[in-house]
Amino acid sequence: MARVVISVPASTKRGEVIEIKTLAAHVMETGFRRTQTGELIPRDIITQLVCTYNGVEVFRAELHPAMAANPLLAFTTVATESGTLEFKWTGDNGYAATQSASITVT
Amino acid sequence: MTSRRRFLALACGAFAAGEVAAQLDPNIQALRRAALESAIRKVTGDKPVRTGKVKLEVPPLIDNGNTVPLSVFVDNPMTAADHVKSIHVFTEKNPQPYVVSVYLGPRSGRASITTRARIADTGKVIAIAQLSDGTFWSDSVSVVVTLSACLEDGLI
Amino acid sequence: MRSFALVLGVFCTLLAAGEIPLAERRSGYQFMSRETRAMQDDDATNPALLWLLDGEALWNRKEAPAGVACSTCHTGMQGVAARYPVVKKRPINLEQQINVCRTERQKAPPLAYESRELLALTAYVARQSRGMPVDIAWNETTGPFLSAGRDTFNRRQGQLNLACAQCHDDNWGKRLAGSVIPQAHPTGYPLYRLEWQGIGSLQRRLRNCLTGIRAEVPAYGAPELVELELYLMWRARGMKLETPAVRP
């Protein structure tokens, strides 16, 4: 189960800069580790997170193996209008997860 | 990650030299430095990178290299005319130099990101920001990474 | 390799005998860096949150074939984790209690030790006692098992011939190969350990230490491990539960 969690304020004033925190459950296997018998464990990471605000991209991150497991990405965005924030994670081996949050802007 | 056999063998010699830096095989160290320089060049395209405007926050002494809290702030108004387009984080000693690249814009409000990185070995962490006027600014922090005392997997 | 560093470390420290006086007890939280502490403190970004959410879903899930969920019988778990392990005929820890409920009340198969599901459920239950003092008493019922646990704590074991007490009673606060030695109070379990890059139980941590001193490692759920858990929780009596903690 692709567990992700986001933390977004439910309501805010127009023009305010809000903090968004995202967490995704993922082992982020680097591709550099070896088993006890010496075989390379293949890479398996989240490679991208995109956040759109009413359909417009406001944040994008490209992740590499040096990102910790269960990656946290916290960033900011300006509360321009009420609507939906959508988050999409994609990664190796067809990993995909989405989450959305409504925001009320007065 | 440095093999522990090698680390201890070098550490005994390094005690005499008094330097924590000499842990990697010099060949590997050179390869990683080259990879870092090439990665930075891919981002900046040979344009000059100045220090300033960027503030990279990483703890100087790291509890565990597997999960290192890391924040980057850039002093910038984030308007349509003047904003941070992207922030790129690199490490000096990891097996590959990239950590994360984030793409911001005027809608970000502030140039401020927080994440958690893996830092394999004592060395530099570097953050480079690209501004909308095409200039590059950077900050770097030297960190010391300690290894866990007892491991689960038994003998290596 | 690890043994070389350990032996060096032990030789370099002065060993003093005796348990830690109650007033001098400190949670492992206080030996971590400011940044790692912040990871534990921020509920929105504590990585264990991912397991807590899974645990909440499992808590409410009706299990086949009886269609009974934890929430069917239990309204809340406040104070429960602070009292575990409990002594019925023998000490049983929270993970084992959850499996007893699953097999006897829910008629569902037990969850494997250290499985994501058992960890998520245990974390969800224990989280509800966060901030409450550990409540284990030494009395007629618990006494014999606490004695056994204490003996294990004080007994030299393994190829390195080390007792838990030598590091955690006598040398806490000093360093072992770059890491600070904590007092070993299990006030935050199940916790997110940076070394594991995931959440784990107290038994996983104990087995980890035993591997480190090159001792024989008992299986999960072994009586000697549960007795040691009981002793460690009694040793931490009165200290506040921090589940889910973050530790290096």
Pairing relationship of beta strands A17-24 and B68-74 according to DSSP bridges: unpaired
Nearest residue on chain B to C206, alpha-carbon basis = B152
Which residues of B fall within a CB distance of 8 Å from C32? 63
Is the predicted pLDDT of residue B21 greater than 70, yes or no?
no
Contact present, A26 and A91 (Cβ < 8 Å): yes
Question: Would you say how long chain C is, in residues?
Answer: 248
Q: Which chains border B (3 or more CB–CB pairs < 8 Å)?
A: A, C
Which pLDDT score is estimated for B68? 95
Taking the domains of chain B in order of start, what are their residue ranges? Answer: 4-145
**Least CB-CB distance to A66: which of B91, B112, B114?**
B91
Which pLDDT score is estimated for B4? 62
* Interchain CB contact of C179 with B (< 8 Å): yes
Sign of CA dihedral C237, C238, C239, C245: positive
Is the predicted pLDDT of residue C16 greater than 50, yes or no?
no
Can you read off the two tokens belonging to residue C14? 């002065």
CA dihedral (C58, C60, C63, C69) in degrees, to 10, reads 130
Report the DSSP beta bridge partners of residue A21.
A7, A74
C209 is catalytic: yes
CA distances from A89 to A19, A57, A67, A99, C87 (A): 18, 13, 14, 9, 46
Phi, psi of A72 (to 5 degrees): -100, 130
Alpha-carbon gap: B44 to the closest alpha carbon of chain A (Å):
16
The ipTM (two decimal places) reads 0.95
Q: Is C22 left (phi over 0), alpha (psi -120 to 50) or beta?
A: alpha
**Mutation to test the A interface, candidates C40, C43, C45, C58, most A Cβ within 10 Å:** C45
Give the integer Cα–Cα distance in Å for C125 and C157: 33
Give residue-wise pLDDT tens across range B79-122. Answer: 999 999 999 999 999 999 999 999 999 999 999 999 999 999 99
Which residues of B fall within a CB distance of 8 Å from A21? 114
Which residues of A fall within a CB distance of 8 Å from C191? none
**Mutation to test the C interface, candidates A70, A75, A89, most C Cβ within 10 Å:** A70
Q: Which domains does chain A have, with CATH numbers?
A: 4-105 (2.60.40.10)
Give the integer Cα–Cα distance in Å for C106 and C88: 20
| Confidence band of A22 (pLDDT split at 50, 70, 90) | very high
Of residues C55 and C6, more confidently modeled: C55
CATH number of B4-145: 2.60.40.2470
C1-248 carries CATH number 2.70.50.60: no
Contact present, C120 and C173 (Cβ < 8 Å): no
Which residues of C fall within a CB distance of 8 Å from B147? 177-178
Which pLDDT score is estimated for A81? 95
* Interchain CB contact of C6 with B (< 8 Å): yes
Of chain A residues 8-37, which have a CB less than 8 A from chain C? 21, 23-25, 27-28
Name the 3-class secondary structure at A23. strand
Is the predicted pLDDT of residue B5 greater than 90, yes or no?
no
Give the integer Cα–Cα distance in Å for C203 and C112: 13
pTM for the model: 0.88
Which pLDDT score is estimated for B25? 79
Percent of chain B at pLDDT > 90 equals 71
Phi, psi of A43 (to 5 degrees): -65, 140
